[in-house]
Amino acid sequence: MKLSVVIHGHFYQPPRENPWTGEVEAQPSAAPDHDWNARVARECYLPNGAARVADAQGRTVAVVNNYAFISFNFGPTLLSWYKRAHPEGYSKLLDADRDSARRLGGHGNAIAQAYNHMILPLANARDRRTQVAWGLEDFRRRFGRQAEALWLPETACDDETLRVLIDFGMRYVLLAPGQCARVRPDGVPAWTDASRGHFSTNRPYRWHDRLRPGKHIDLVFYDGFLSQGVAFGKFMADSRGAAEKIKTAFAEQNEPQVVTIATDGETYGHHEKFADMGLAHLVADCLPYRDMETVNFAWYLEKYPPTWEAEIKRGPQGLGTSWSCAHGVARWMDDCGCGSEPGKHQRWRYPLREALDWLRDELAVRAEAAGAKLTRDFWKTRDAYIRVVFDPDSVDGFCDEQLIMPGAENRRALTGLLESQKFAMYMYTSCGWFFADVAGLEAVQNLRYAARAVELAGAVDLEEEFCARLAFAESNDPNAPTAREVYLRYAKAASSSTGSARISPDAKM
């Protein structure tokens, strides 16, 4: 019997378009490319669609579409850009999903993603559901099928997030081993502590919703050693050696097993040069030679449903856990040290989130009041607005369906409210907190979205209080000592007629 291996790549870059012009501006730190999307596409996304396998003399002996052999997700906002910038590369993703579905009993390799990479446990209930709804609908429209799973940004998860995934029909979710709390076989009353990583990641588990008997979702935990080795240990530099390491991860037992590796997809070519070629050699030659085959979780779970149960950690303050913060989800709300740089503090993280939370709630109150005069259910309309985000040409027809009283003026009013709400979600894109400073490229981009959301809602009267709250977020930039100055000098400048903003030194992605 062949041994099952799942290699998952999380391919993602944050949305980079100027929210006033819709264009991605030049980002000097991405040189020699125009911007970071362009650079990562050249180094990673495109090569993985046609990865070379070379012989000892460096001659190409095969070309492999790596996406056809690995489980993968792409951020929806990234795919919108990728489709425009590289239509042939985009087509290879769709081809890979179809090819893998034919190979694996109808289960394609692609899975969905929460729409704009918001940290779901820190979102309010309404935004959490909209992020899932938008991610799934975007996936359906791109890949022509229903998603069987959804990638949680930063694998950030709590029980309530799992409940939302269940409500949307998701079959499984991929998590880090450090997120598991305890496990037990079916029918065994006693739990085994897994909080320190002492449990098998070679089997799937079932999570039962204690608040709603009969509801469940399957959990897959990736192998920490192998995943860290691929991401940071240059395992792909020796694909034969990587295959041997993978094979030793299988336990000597008769029950079905799956070994899972999960990393940022950018590992393969961007973070590690030539890792796309190492991956191609691994999946096309090294694993099959050793009687291992690459599959995806949906295929595996259909053949081998879980016979064990698991529960996940609550995390500090019950806010959840993630794969990139040792402190739960503090990286996106606190000065926890994750992502720190010498000489730079992260005291700005909490005040920034608090200010954005305040703005989100104020905009929601106004949107609900104005939307009630235009639609029968404004929040259902917002969930459905992904149709227009995906296909802007459909805006008039969409508005006429949703409006109580169709007409050009009401269409403009409704579109303004919905676009404001879109940007009010974009301002929570996780990358804004990931690095060391609120004056960095990613945080400035989030503040651009905040400014655009205010403008579209016609809520400029909120700006004074918003800026007062931003003033509590201390920056590391001497030219903009608080997030207030960052917002006024760097973010709002993007609304100028030239469409160019003053950008402080940005973080390298």
> What pLDDT, on a 0 to 100 scale, did the predictor assign at position 455?
97
Predicted local distance difference test score (pLDDT) of residue 505: 35
Write the single-letter amino acid at 225.
F
Q: Break the chain into its structural domains and give their ranges.
A: 3-13+36-312, 333-495
Cα 261 to Cα 480: distance, rounded to the nearest angstrom: 41
- Show the low-confidence residues of the chain (pLDDT under 70): 1, 496-509
Residue 221: which of 201, 206, 198 has the closest Cα? Answer: 201
The interaxial angle of helices 349-372 and 441-456, nearest 10 deg, is 20
In sequence order, the 6+-apart residues with CB closer than 8 A to the CB of 421 are 363, 364, 367, 382, 385, 453
pLDDT of residue 506: 38
CA atoms of 407 and 278, how far apart (whole Å): 57
Handedness of CA 330, 333, 336, 337 (dihedral sign): positive
Burial of 350 (0-12, 13-18, 19+ CB in 10 A): middle
Residue that the structure tokens 């190979």 belong to: 103
The pLDDT assigned to 1 comes to 65
Q: Give the contacts of 193 (CB within 8 A, at least 6 positions apart).
A: 181, 182
Hunting for tokens 């004074």 — which residue is that? 464
DSSP helix/strand/coil, 298: helix
Q: What is the pLDDT of residue 504?
A: 36
The answer to whether residues 179 and 313 touch, using CB atoms and an 8 Å cutoff, is: yes
Unique residue bearing structure tokens 């509801």: 215
pLDDT given at position 494: 86
Distance CA 136, CA 149 (A): 9
| Cα–Cα distance measured from residue 444 to residue 451, given in angstroms and rounded to the nearest whole number | 10
Q: Kindly give, in sequence order, each residue whose CB lies less than 8 Å from that of residue 100, ignoring residues fewer than 6 positions away.
A: 67, 68, 69, 107, 108, 109, 296
Strand partners, 321: 157
Run of H or E residues at 288 = helix 287-289
Determine contact, residues 53/285, Cβ cutoff 8 Å: yes
Token pair recorded at residue 17: 């378009």
Q: Which CATH number fits domain 3-13+36-312: 3.20.110.20, 3.40.190.10, 3.40.50.970, 3.40.800.20?
A: 3.20.110.20
Residue 498: predicted pLDDT: 42
